[in-house]
Amino acid sequence: FVTSHLVSEFKHIPLDIKEFIPEDKTRTREEQKFTTKIEIAIFLIEEAIRRGIKFEFVVADAWYGSSPNFTDYLEAKGLKYIVSIKSNRNIFYKFPNDLKSSEHKISELLTLISPDAFRPLDIKLSDGSNKKIYFVRMDLKVKGLSGKRRVIIETDRIGDWVNAEVSYFISNATELRDDTVIRYYHRRNWIEVFYREVKDFLGADEYQVRSMDRILRHWTLCIVTYSMMQWLQHGKAIKEFVKKND
């Protein structure tokens, strides 16, 4: 499945769900009406806009952020985004020993950045705990995208690149500070919490049916239940109603 979610600092609400069926290589895409995850994600964004759902930024992981089709769509729609990109995404940057091409994988930049360039930042995780990370900002030409882009590199340790967790973000939200871009991206972690909780506590993956329509119906019921639980936890109006009718 591909899902869309509305996330803030204090709450998370799943918005929509659409099935993703892997491509059958023995049939043409037209025969099986194959739709890529990128196309589904764009459809879900369009659905949110059509339904009048207000949101400031689109946040997505590297599967979507590394797709020029996805970022091109967001920019064509005038939407602000914060997305992760894969470590093998190519960028153009003049390395000291470059003679001809200046095209490199973005992960190769780690060997050039001075440890002193990284700034520390404490971020709050979805479980309430804090995590210290380090980040640096660079303005780079990313292959497949026009012009230079703000690229933020985040890591949990400096110098030990073999064992470090490193993430790469791009964003067109020029009004946001670099640390705010990182904080906003980490709100996406609520989506991982959603999948864990909807499976562990609501049995979303314990269906005993086979047809996609019935599986989707089961998941939809789980999502509705999860959403009601979120509103009961965070919605003031519902809290007051429950208290009044207790």
Q: How far apart are CA 63 and CA 83, in angstroms?
A: 9
Mean pLDDT for 58-87 is 96
Mean pLDDT for 157-170 is 94
DSSP state at residue 110: G
Q: How far apart are CA 163 and CA 166, in angstroms?
A: 9
Instruction: Specify the pLDDT at position 238.
Output: 54
Give tens-digit pLDDT for 169-206. Answer: 999 999 999 999 999 999 998 888 899 999 999 999 99
Q: Compute CA distances 26 → 23, 30, 32, 140, 149, whole Å.
A: 9, 12, 10, 41, 40
CB 84 within 8 A of CB 186: no
Confidence label for 214 from pLDDT (cuts 50, 70 and 90): very high
Give tens-digit pLDDT for 31-50. Answer: 777 899 999 999 999 999 99
- Say whether pLDDT at 30 is over 70: yes
C-alpha closest to that of 126 among 196, 176, 222: 196
Instruction: Specify the pLDDT at position 2.
Output: 94
